[in-house]
Structures are given as C-alpha cells and as structure tokens.
A and B are shown apart, each in its own frame.
Chain A
Amino acid sequence: MLLSVKNAAWTGGILCAGLLTAALFSPAKSASLGSLRNALRVVPHSPSTRASGQDTPQASSPIPATQSPSSQAPASNPFVVVLDPAHGGADPGARGTGGIRESDIVLDFAVQTKRVLEAYGFQVIQTRQGNDNPTFDDRSSIANAQRRALFITIHIASTGLPGTVRVYVNSDLPPITDPAGLIPWDRAQAGFLAASHKLGDLVQGSLTQRFKGSPDFSQIASVRQLRTTAAPAIAVEISSVTVEERTSLDWMATGFAEAIAQGASAFRAQSPMPAAPGVSP
C-alpha cells in the first residue's frame, strides 16, 4: 500500500512536470503568450545529440552557466553544426525578379554544406528539411539542446554585389547577471558573442578567398535568429536574388560549402568549446 502511494506521487509529479514543460515549450503563436513564455524561459541543456532537426526540442532542467567546461564534455562528443536554411513555408524570404526565392536556394545550399561538413567530421543537423517554416525559437532550440554546437543560418540578400558573401555576428547584448547562473532565453547569445566573433571571422576569411569582393572580416548586425541561440552562432548572407538566372547563384554552392567547412574546422582546431550553454571559450 505504501509502495503504491509512493508510485502514485511519482506519477503525479512526472505528469505535472510534463504539463509545465509542454506549456513552456509549446509553439504558441500569440505574441503576448510568446513574450510571457520567453520571459520565463531559460536555455535547456540536454547531453543527447539529435539525428534530425525535425525533432521537437527536449525540455530539461536549466543548468548553471558557470559550470566548468572540462566537467561537461566527454572528448568523444562530436561537434554538431546546426545548419539553418532561413525562411520557408509561407515565407519565401527575398524574391528576385526572375522568380528566384531565397527559401528554395538556401535549402539547396544547406544540403550541399551538410555533405561537406560531414566529410570534415562534423555531425550536422538541419533546422528544416523541406519547405516548412519553423519559428525562430524552434530553430534556436535545436542548437540550444546540444552540448557542442555551432549554429550557422544561411540567407540570400536582396542587395549587395552579386557573387559576394557576408558573415554577421549578433550585436552586443546585456550580460547575463542571473544569480542562479541561468541563461535567459531572450538573450541566450550574450555569453557566446566572443566565440561567435571568432567563428565569424574564420568563416568570412575562408569565404573571401573564394568570393572576391566579400569583406575581410565578419560584421555586426541585430539578427533575430542569433539572439536566442546559446552557441557560437553566425548568419551568412549571399548576394543576391537580383541575378537574372538562378545558375548564377548555384555555381557558388560548392565553394560556399567548402568555405563554411574550412572555417568551422579552423574554429574547432583553435577553440576549446564550452561544455555547457553560457560558458564562453
């Protein structure tokens, strides 16, 4: 009898936790609900890595941001690169006069980049596999659930010199000062800006070698997608959808994929990754 009461209490507790988790992480579309959810939301951490970006993010207990890197990451953990083909679904992104849609092209670029990154020894997750449009938070969730992730969101611009590529790092965010060491979801990138700058400069350098006219260093911009990502994160923007023929962009895909992989490899070689969200290398 005592055992069954105890079991019932455990079951009730698990159910309550499940309901709370579902409430916090359900993809509510309402802006006010979203704000409330994000105000309360912290970056979860899961030691497991994912095989597919289509999985829903795992909700687990938040962890302190000040844990030692060495105590968290077993050496066997592979680096995970989360590739984010931007837009999708009802949001085509930038559109060219020749019917070129940003959402289509970035997906193709992501597929090619994934293949090359895997050849370089990275585990790769795409935030979308087809023509769907996960929310910004859903995309960030995939990276935030990893221990050793790099996040790269891919865009095609409406402007800029065609055939060039620019890398962006998120602009400065207020530092995280939570006494419990929790990372607020709304500025999860704050603790990773230095690492993101390093990754951005390495990838930009590699891209500029291939695409003349691109900048020498990464630039800073307030990119919504990057703000909620608790990992070294960059946005890569290719110019542009204004080209007459899609082939003018397609020819860039191979060099783009190689440059991303080389930049990420250089970053991996130079930077001991933080073992947990919130710890900058």
Chain B
Amino acid sequence: MMERWRPLLIAGIAFVLTSSAIYFAILRKHVKTTARVRPPTEEQARRELTQLNSVNPGDAKEKVKLFWAAGANGSTLTPVTIDLPLAKDPVQRSRQILNTLLAGPVDTDLRTLPPEAALLAFYLLPDGTGIADFSESLATSIPSGIQSEQLAADSITRTLEANVPQVKQLKILIHGQEVETLAGHLDLAGFLAVSRETPVPVPSPASGKGSTSPSSPGAKPAAPESLTPDKAPVKLATPDR
C-alpha cells in the first residue's frame, strides 16, 4: 500500500518545493524594488511643502531678470529674462523668484546655486530688510571658495534687486540660524545690500582706482547692465525636483 503512494508523495513534495522556490524568488525581487524607492528625505519633503504654492498660474506673467553665471568658467553674472507668473505681494514674489533662481537653468554651467538647496522661508521687515532662510544644502553643496560663494550671494541679491524693489537689504539664514560664513569664506554675519539706492559708505578710493567689483553687493559696480546685455529667454529647469 505504502509502496503505491510513495511516488505520489515524492511528486507532491517536489511540487511544493518548486512552488516555494518560485514564490520566494518573486518575493525577494519585490522587496529589493521596494527598498530602492526610498521615502523622501526631510529636506526634500520640506522643499515640496515650501514650493507647493510658490507659483500661482493665475498671476499675471511678467518679465523677470534672473542673474546666472556667465563668462569664462562662470566667473561673472549675466541677467537672463524669462516670463513668469508673479504675485504682487513682495514676500510671495520674492519666494517665487528665489525658487525659480534655485531651480536654475538647464545648463548646469550657468548655475550659481546648488540644485539641492531649498528656500525654507522668506520674510520682509517694514524697513525693507528681507530675511531668506535656506536649507543646509546651500552651505554644504556650494563649491567652496571666495569666487563661487560671492557669485552665489550676488546672484541672489541682484535678482531680488531687479524684481522686488521693496527689498533693500538681505539677511541669509541657514536652516533658521545665523551663520558666520556661507561655506568658509563669504561673510554672512551682516546684511547684504540689495538696493543700489541703499547708501553704502565708500572709503576714499584714492588708491583703489584699479580695483574691480564685478559683482559685489557691498560696493555696487557702475552700470553693469550696460556691460552685460540681456540674453534671449532660455529654457528653465523644472522647479519641482
């Protein structure tokens, strides 16, 4: 009797084992796929929240000047004009413009700010002082150096100056905190001048005739607009990364 059922028993066991092997192989693949899809980091989640309402398609489109890198090795800034729906409220407007600046151009060589950086908050005080709070990535991902850090700050201040006249000076915070420098060089202890109308005391230039200031916020260069004519509108990167 037992002899008769043995082949059937062996066949049944073999079937169960084969089915289990196939099932576990498929399960393993699913687990790996799921593991690859990581939940968003805290910073990504924050950026999505802060950018959620940054651009309202109902706002009237305006021509916006964004200051991106230009010149050999991206050592200077050039204004680039784009059409963007902008709010009238200066705070909302500043947020929209800074988010667009952070989204940056498609051509990464023109970037002045790291793509990972996000604007967490923007405030405007009655005296025209803007306070821009950026994520840590602005400090940690920017190429370290005087030139690159100054260029980043200048692109922010000159873009604000060109598009939000209510902002006279700017304080940059990193994740809500005051910092001494951006990435070891650029002085962020004080305020960055935004408006050229803001009186900036100038010491006697008697011996400094040759010095150039292509992009310093503290000492505004004379009529840089005429030296760097607007480029034709260019393609923007998608703000929501």
Could you list which residues of chain A lie within 8 angstroms of chain B, going by C-beta atoms?
A: 31, 86-87, 91, 93-95, 102, 136, 155-161, 166, 168-169, 171-175, 186, 190-191, 193-195, 197-198, 200-201, 215-225, 227, 235, 237, 239-240, 271, 280
* B218 contacts across to A, CB distance below 8 A: 171-173, 220, 222
B185 in the interface, Cβ–Cβ < 8 Å? yes
How far is B75's CA from A74's CA once the two chains are assembled, in angstroms? 44
* B181 contacts across to A, CB distance below 8 A: 224
Contact call A222/B208, Cβ cutoff below 8 A: no
Contact call A169/B180, Cβ cutoff below 8 A: no
- B208's nearest neighbour on chain A, judged by CB, is A197
Contact call A222/B216, Cβ cutoff below 8 A: yes
* B210 contacts across to A, CB distance below 8 A: 197, 201, 216-218
How far is B181's CA from A174's CA once the two chains are assembled, in angstroms? 19
How far is B185's CA from A87's CA once the two chains are assembled, in angstroms? 10
How far is B163's CA from A253's CA once the two chains are assembled, in angstroms? 44
Contact call B146/A155, Cβ cutoff below 8 A: yes
* A223 contacts across to B, CB distance below 8 A: 146, 185-187
A-B contacts, 15 of them at CB < 8 A, read A91-B184, A94-B143, A157-B146, A161-B73, A171-B213, A171-B219, A172-B200, A174-B201, A191-B203, A197-B205, A198-B207, A220-B213, A221-B150, A227-B187, A235-B185
Determine which of B147, B153, B208, B213 lies in contact with A159 in the assembled complex, contact meaning CB atoms within 8 Å: B147
Is chain B's binding surface mostly helix, strand, loop or mixed? loop
How far is B143's CA from A220's CA once the two chains are assembled, in angstroms? 19
Contact call A217/B212, Cβ cutoff below 8 A: yes
Contact call B203/A157, Cβ cutoff below 8 A: no
Could you list which residues of chain B lie within 8 angstroms of chain A, going by C-beta atoms?
A: 72-75, 143-148, 150, 153, 178, 180-181, 184-189, 192, 200-208, 210-214, 216-219
How far is B217's CA from A173's CA once the two chains are assembled, in angstroms? 12
How far is B204's CA from A198's CA once the two chains are assembled, in angstroms? 12
Q: Which 8 A-B pairs have the closest CB atoms?
A: A197-B208, A171-B218, A158-B143, A157-B145, A198-B207, A220-B213, A224-B187, A217-B210
- B216's nearest neighbour on chain A, judged by CB, is A220
**Residue from A91, A216, A218 with most neighbouring chain B CB atoms (10 Å):** A218
How far is B87's CA from A38's CA once the two chains are assembled, in angstroms? 41
How far is B212's CA from A161's CA once the two chains are assembled, in angstroms? 18
Contact call B145/A194, Cβ cutoff below 8 A: no
Q: Beyond A158-B143, A194-B205, is A224–B180 a contact (Cβ under 8 Å)? A: yes
Q: Beyond A94-B143, A217-B210, A237-B147, is A193–B203 a contact (Cβ under 8 Å)? A: yes
How far is B87's CA from A254's CA once the two chains are assembled, in angstroms? 56
* A186 contacts across to B, CB distance below 8 A: 189
* A87 contacts across to B, CB distance below 8 A: 184
